Amino acid sequence: MLQTILSRSSVSVTEFRRRPVECVRAGNGEAIAILSNNEPVFYCIPAKEYGELLQELEDAKSKLKAVSN
């Protein structure tokens, strides 16, 4: 099955297990696709970006709730 990789950088699961910190640093603050058999299995994103995503999700939920009422 063909899947789109939603990041500029990718690394194999094997390499990520061996050197996780180095892989994250090589991502230069951006998400990294972790691949198994050349398909993305998960994304590693910096903590700051994760926090921003959670805040955006909460903001969107609040706006949707306000519109629904």
Q: What is the CATH number of the domain that holds 41?
A: 3.40.1620
3-62 residue pLDDT tens: 899 999 999 999 999 999 999 999 999 999 999 999 999 999 999 999 999 999 999 999
Q: Give yes or no for a contact between 32 and 11, defined as CB atoms under 8 angstroms apart.
A: yes
Residue 2 within a domain:
no
Residue 3 within a domain:
no
Cα separation, 29 vs 5, whole angstroms: 17
How many domains does the chain contain in total?
Answer: 1
> Whole-prediction pTM value?
0.82
Residue 26 within a domain:
yes
Tokens 């690394």: give the residue: 11
The range of the structural domain enclosing residue 36 comes to 9-68
Residue 1 within a domain:
no
